[in-house]
Amino acid sequence: MQNNNYVEFKKKRDLGEILGDTFAFLRTQLKPFFNTFFKIAGPYLVIFLICNAFYAYTVGGLMNFNIESSNEVTNVLMVFVAALVFILSMGAAYAMAQSVTLHYIKNYVENNGVINFDQIKSEVYSTFWKFIGLAFLVGICVGLGLMLCLIPGIYLYVPLTLSFSILIFNKKPVGDAFSYSFSLIKDYWWITFATMLVVGIVVAVAGYAFSVPSAIYMYAKMGVFSAEIDPSNMGDTLIDPIGIAINTITALFQYLLSIITVVAGAFIYFDLNERKNLTGTMERIQNLGNSTNL
């Protein structure tokens, strides 16, 4: 049985269709998707937001430059620990967000729009370490590429971003997903890069809009608007409750915006897979033949 608002993933799409269908999918699946998302990824998100607030607080304390009332070495060590915990929690939270989103789409496609929460949850946890391993491998490769004159990193980023979709939708091992991404992108690198760039710009602009309140509050605390600028107040902005709350809300919205990139990436994967393998076309022909024989 197929959902009346079912969005077909397995077909060719141009840039406009990928953008349009990304938002169409999120709009039609808003309640079931986020219900599933927060039940599975919610604990990781909460830990990430707590670590984000703790990191902002420790950095703000260090920026106050009050050496007489505190131990500078201890403060620096505390910032290092806070930064490490923040990075680890952020990595786990974003990896879980991507994993839940891709497994949700996989379940959505396999069941024609009917969602099985228990199946999604089971698959997310069963592939967690594979996902983390692939994320680490991709991060190392793209990071090294960016250090080598930037261009190699950009080149690697395009195919390797799709390796996560290959890992989930094709059920390939980490190494195979990594290598197959280059075969999938062959002859379509530029159009894929352009699509990812446009999606990235849309998400970045939205993320910037959500960061404006935090910037306004920081400038107000520093006295920019009253022409009484005091840079030392920047640290106070990060440690007062209002500043921490605004910073945490901003991090939450930017985290949720990353879902748009993941969904768009899934559409890009299915578009390329259709162009290369005609998987969706063959399935529709087979289903048509089966219905004719009934």
* pLDDT band at residue 56 using 50, 70 and 90 as cut-offs: confident
**Mean pLDDT over each residue of the chain, to the nearest integer:** 85
Average pLDDT over residues 129-147: 92
Q: Token digits for 208? A: 């910037």
Please report the pLDDT score of residue 238 as a whole number: 61
pLDDT, greater one: 46 or 73: 46
Q: Token digits for 214? A: 């935090």
Calculate what percentage of the chain has a pLDDT beyond 90: 59
Q: What is the Cα–Cα distance from 226 to 234, expressed in whole angstroms?
A: 15
Please report the pLDDT score of residue 284 as a whole number: 66
Cβ neighbours, 10 Å, residue 226: 8
Q: Token digits for 230? A: 């005091």
Domain ranges of the chain: 15-126+189-280
State the SS3 of 124-151. HHHCHHHHHHHHHHHHHHHHHHHHCCCH
Residue whose structure tokens are 């748009």: 260
pLDDT, greater one: 4 or 195: 195
Closest CA to 93 of 164, 44, 40, 36: 44
Q: What is the Cα–Cα distance from 252 to 214, expressed in whole angstroms?
A: 13
Residue whose structure tokens are 């190494």: 175
pLDDT, greater one: 59 or 98: 98
* Count of helices and strands (H, E) across the chain: 11, 0
Residue 98, amino acid: Q
Calculate what percentage of the chain has a pLDDT beyond 70: 82
Q: Token digits for 217? A: 């509050």
Indicate if the pLDDT at residue 172 is higher than 70. yes
Q: What Cα–Cα distance (Å) separates residue 45 from each residue in 35, 94, 130, 211, 256?
A: 14, 8, 20, 18, 10
Q: What is the Cα–Cα distance from 219 to 229, expressed in whole angstroms?
A: 9
pTM of structure: 0.88
Which phi and psi (to 5°) does residue 229 adopt?
-70, 130
Q: What is the Cα–Cα distance from 22 to 5, expressed in whole angstroms?
A: 13
* pLDDT band at residue 178 using 50, 70 and 90 as cut-offs: very high
Residue whose structure tokens are 């990304």: 22
pLDDT, greater one: 178 or 279: 178
Yes or no: say if 130 and 167 are a contact pair by the CB < 8 Å rule: yes
Please report the pLDDT score of residue 201 as a whole number: 95
Q: pLDDT of 67-120, one tens digit each?
A: 445 566 667 788 889 899 999 999 999 999 999 999 999 999 999 899 999 999
Residue whose structure tokens are 């195919």: 159
Q: What is the Cα–Cα distance from 104 to 117, expressed in whole angstroms?
A: 8
Please report the pLDDT score of residue 67 as a whole number: 45
Residue 49, amino acid: L
Average pLDDT over residues 55-72: 65
Indicate if the pLDDT at residue 167 is higher than 60. yes
Q: What is the Cα–Cα distance from 246 to 61, expressed in whole angstroms?
A: 17
